[in-house]
Amino acid sequence: MEKIKDLLSAIDDTELNIKPFLKKNISIKEENEVIVISVALGFLFTGLEDRYKKLIISALNHINKSISINFVLNISSHQTQGSTQSISNIKNIIAVASGKGGVGKSTIACNLAISLKKLGAKVGILDADIYGPSQPKMMGISGKPESLDGKKLQPLTAFDVETMSIGYLVDPDTPVVWRGPMVTNTLQQLLNETNWSDLDYLVIDLPPGTGDTQLTLAQKVPVTGAVIVTTPQDIALIDAQKGIGMFEKVNIPNLGIIENMAVFECPNCGHHEHIFGNNGGKKIAEKNNIELLGSIPLKSSIQKNMDLGTPSVINDPDSLESQEMLRIARKISVKIAQSKENFKDKFPKIVIE
């Protein structure tokens, strides 16, 4: 049995560039001449089962017994920055940020949340853009959250993703002219006073820049990792660089960069054009030694789908961009699985007086 574990833990997934089967997560027993192998995986493996079974079978081809293999999803809570304490029913918070506005951060956050869900996770999205909430429209949700206990608000759900946004609570046509402290409180309230169910991932859609909301996030919200969205032109990259620097400074790990509007895809003939320049995302990723998670094209259907409240990953699931979103979501789950697990909350705090 130990030998089998050794063999399995040596297997490489050359596509994801990981060794997916960790020794401590493999259990093996023999039942009626059948070797029953169960592997717990900490990342979203939906769609990989057949390939993984083949890898295992070929690693064990010297065994003359039937082999039965099953995979179990087991997402853990991972370490968060500074002295933040993770929230008991939210395993991992993913912040989606950008330097500039209008680069498609909310679009990516929304499609990312749904993609994580499609791959088998329990997911929520928190719209932290207090001044310009986008998620109600993008997720096609109208209506007001209710409270069952008079304290916490029930999230509104679309596409099996739980959502909360200030957009549900204030009239969309009234400009929100709050100052710093109110922004601070609002973000924390939306996070802590929503009755989220047990979530594997909560995606936070941040406003652009490095302002009050980002400051609160850095100090008060237990974040597992950040994802930076940028377009490829130099002016966006300069701002993306600021975002990367900010997360570095506050010790929030950077999970990678997503390049949006990377290439224009013509709806008439399908030809591609690099309107905003070539390889900008790749350059900034290399410069900072972080991963380019993927690239999404500039395509009118993406914008139309967002305006309809039926994101591309729902409305055009077979499109290249939707497939790319799924790949990105999987990579993010792998990156999180590779980061340090959260032990801060498992041990009592020792206070020396």
- Give the interface with Zn ion as residue ranges (CB under 5 A): 266, 268-269, 271
Q: Which is nearer to Mg ion, 106 or 214 (CB)?
A: 106
Rule CB under 5 A: say whether 25 interacts with Mg ion: no
18 forms bridges with which residues in the sheet? 13
129 forms bridges with which residues in the sheet? none
Evaluate whether 94 touches 221 at the Cβ level (below 8 Å).
no
Q: Which of Mg ion, Zn ion, ligand ADP, none lies near 181, with the C-beta cut-off 5 to 8 A by kind?
A: none
Residues 119-138 that bind Mg ion (CB under 5 A): 129, 134
Rule CB under 6 A: say whether 105 interacts with ligand ADP: yes
Amino acid found at 103: V
Q: How many residues line the site for Mg ion (CB under 5 A)?
A: 4
Evaluate whether 40 touches 25 at the Cβ level (below 8 Å).
yes
Q: Which of Mg ion, Zn ion, ligand ADP, none lies near 302, with the C-beta cut-off 5 to 8 A by kind?
A: ligand ADP
Rounded to the nearest whole angstrom, what is the least distance from the CB of residue 316 to Zn ion in the complex?
19
Rounded to the nearest whole angstrom, what is the least distance from the CB of residue 98 to ligand ADP in the complex?
5
Two tokens, residue 18: 């990981």
Rule CB under 6 A: say whether 165 interacts with ligand ADP: no
Q: Which is nearer to Mg ion, 105 or 335 (CB)?
A: 105
Q: Which of 204, 290, 298, 337 binds ligand ADP (CB under 6 A)?
A: 298
Q: Which is nearer to ligand ADP, 70 or 142 (CB)?
A: 142
Q: What separation in angstroms does the CA of 53 have from each of 14, 37, 70, 119, 206? A: 15, 10, 8, 18, 39
Evaluate whether 130 touches 176 at the Cβ level (below 8 Å).
yes
- Other Cβ atoms less than 10 A from the Cβ of 9: the count is 17
User: Which runs of E-coded beta strand occur in 98-148?
Assistant: 123-127
Among the candidate windows 42-50, 292-300, 325-333, 335-343, which touches ligand ADP by CB under 6 A? 292-300
Rule CB under 6 A: say whether 104 interacts with ligand ADP: yes
Among the candidate windows 98-106, 184-192, 196-204, 282-290, which touches Mg ion by CB under 5 A? 98-106
Q: List CB contacts of 138: < 8 A, sequence separation 6 or more.
A: 106, 107, 110, 306, 309, 311
d(CA 126, CA 195): 12
Rule CB under 6 A: say whether 299 interacts with ligand ADP: yes
Among the candidate windows 81-89, 98-106, 281-289, 340-348, which touches ligand ADP by CB under 6 A? 98-106
105 CA to centre of own chain: 12
Evaluate whether 125 touches 110 at the Cβ level (below 8 Å).
yes
Rule CB under 6 A: say whether 137 interacts with ligand ADP: no
Rule CB under 6 A: say whether 106 interacts with ligand ADP: yes
Q: Which of 141, 306, 328, 334 binds ligand ADP (CB under 6 A)?
A: 306
Closest C-alpha among 250, 253, 241, 208 to residue 92: 253
Evaluate whether 256 touches 223 at the Cβ level (below 8 Å).
no
Q: Which is nearer to ligand ADP, 110 or 223 (CB)?
A: 110
Rule CB under 6 A: say whether 236 interacts with ligand ADP: no
Please calculate the CA angle 130-136-140 and round it to the nearest 5 degrees: 170
Rounded to the nearest whole angstrom, what is the least distance from the CB of residue 265 to Zn ion in the complex?
9
Q: Which of ligand ADP, Zn ion, Mg ion, none lies near 306, with the C-beta cut-off 5 to 8 A by kind?
A: ligand ADP
Two tokens, residue 57: 């079978």
d(CA 229, CA 93): 16
Position closest to ligand ADP via CB: 104
**Residues lying near Mg ion in the complex (CB under 5 A):** 105-106, 129, 134
**Residues lying near ligand ADP in the complex (CB under 6 A):** 98, 101-107, 134, 260-261, 296, 298-299, 302-303, 306
